[in-house]
Amino acid sequence: MAHHLALILTCQLAGDLTMQWLGVAFPGALFGMLLLFLILCVAGGPADGMRSTAGGLIDHLGLFIVPTATAFVGVAALLVSEALSLAVAIVLPTIVAMSTVALIATLALRREPEPQHGNRESLT
Amino acid sequence: MNSFRMALAWLALTLAIYGITARVQKRTGFALVNPLLVTMLVMGGLTTVLGVPHQTYFAHVAILNYLLGAAVVALAVPLYVNLRRLRTKLWLSLAAMIAASVSSAALTLYLSTLLDLSRTMQLSLMPKHSTTAVSIEVAHAIGGLPALAAFLTVTTSIVTAVLGPWLLDVMGIRSPCARGLAYGLAGHAVGTSRAFAESEITGCWSSIAMTVNAVLTALLVPPLVAAWLAARP
């Protein structure tokens, strides 16, 4: 468990340093995610310990955002006064995003039958 | 009380509210009882009533913030597992996701200008379809406010989970692949939990779309915003 967390933190650090070095505005942690993905591809998949460590972290993703997200109180008045415009600017793009991806995927899938059940054996 | 005990008290309260809300949501399956949304509203309200500045509260619970980046890195594990499982149609679904990501970002830019939202609000809205942890980073990079982005991104996630099933039914979308991609792409975490409620395969597609769209948003939104700002300063 501890060494899996160490690998995750190392990827995060490497991602952070790489992005700082390149000077691009791409989140270092997300680059670290891609690094870990490459490592998993090379290693042929995550070990059980890595699965549980990663699962534990991801299950609490929302909790880790609480400190930053609570700062919204400083702009609460602004959110209330712009509530109607914000609702429009959130709902319409959400409808467009969902319908675009769903329609293209449906049209593409019409040609070939989709596998209804994943191969569970390939997970292990 | 000294600072260490204050930190323990705030931390315990935050964890308790988050944990209780998560249990209530598991029982009821109601998207509005989102643990992050409820915890940020309660803690935000409580610190305001008690006159505790946000920086003080943040310092007390900063230990939670330290693990945010690690949790984003950990998303590589479900991405790998789900991609192995659903190898078919990967390139087509990637093309579909890019088209959806770009069109909704462009529409957001257009609408927020049309509705005369402030520049800060507009930039904080831009990454709203990526997972909240990444959305905060992207908003910060393009000149938005991370706190606003967090609130708007969580709201988007909930809107997707509430509106999504109805929208997809009206459109006659039945394939688990198409439904899952739509939930994950537009509604990241809450969308994905809604997708898992439909079927496991829908949830796996949603989980792929959530992670892919986090990367797409971080890659596509900053240049899109830069081009827009250059065109109409």
User: Does B231 touch chain A if contact means CB atoms closer than 8 Å?
Assistant: no
Q: For the segment B7-27, what is each residue's pLDDT rounded down to a tens digit?
A: 999 999 999 999 999 999 889
Question: Residue B205 CA to chain centroid, in angstroms?
Answer: 16
Instruction: Compare CB distances from A98 to B164, B200, B218 and report the shortest one's residue.
Output: B164
Other residues' Cβ atoms within 10 Å of the Cβ of residue A46: 22
The pTM (predicted TM-score) of the whole model is 0.87
First vs last Cα of chain B: how many Å apart? Answer: 51
User: Does B197 touch chain A if contact means CB atoms closer than 8 Å?
Assistant: no
- Amino acid identity of A100? T
DSSP A124: -
Question: A-chain residues within 8 Å CB-CB of B78?
Answer: 54-55, 58
By C-alpha distance, the chain B residue nearest A91 is: B159
Whole-complex ipTM:
0.89
A118, B147: Cβ pair inside 8 Å? no
pLDDT value at residue A113:
54
Q: What is the mean predicted confidence (pLDDT) over B61-87?
A: 90
Instruction: Compare CB distances from A45 to B80, B92, B215 and report the shortest one's residue.
Output: B80
Other residues' Cβ atoms within 10 Å of the Cβ of residue B213: 29
* Minimal CA separation from A78 to chain B, in Å: 9
Q: For the segment A8-27, what is each residue's pLDDT rounded down to a tens digit?
A: 999 999 999 999 999 888 89
By C-alpha distance, the chain A residue nearest B45 is: A73
Instruction: Compare CB distances from A33 to B73, B150, B173 and report the shortest one's residue.
Output: B73
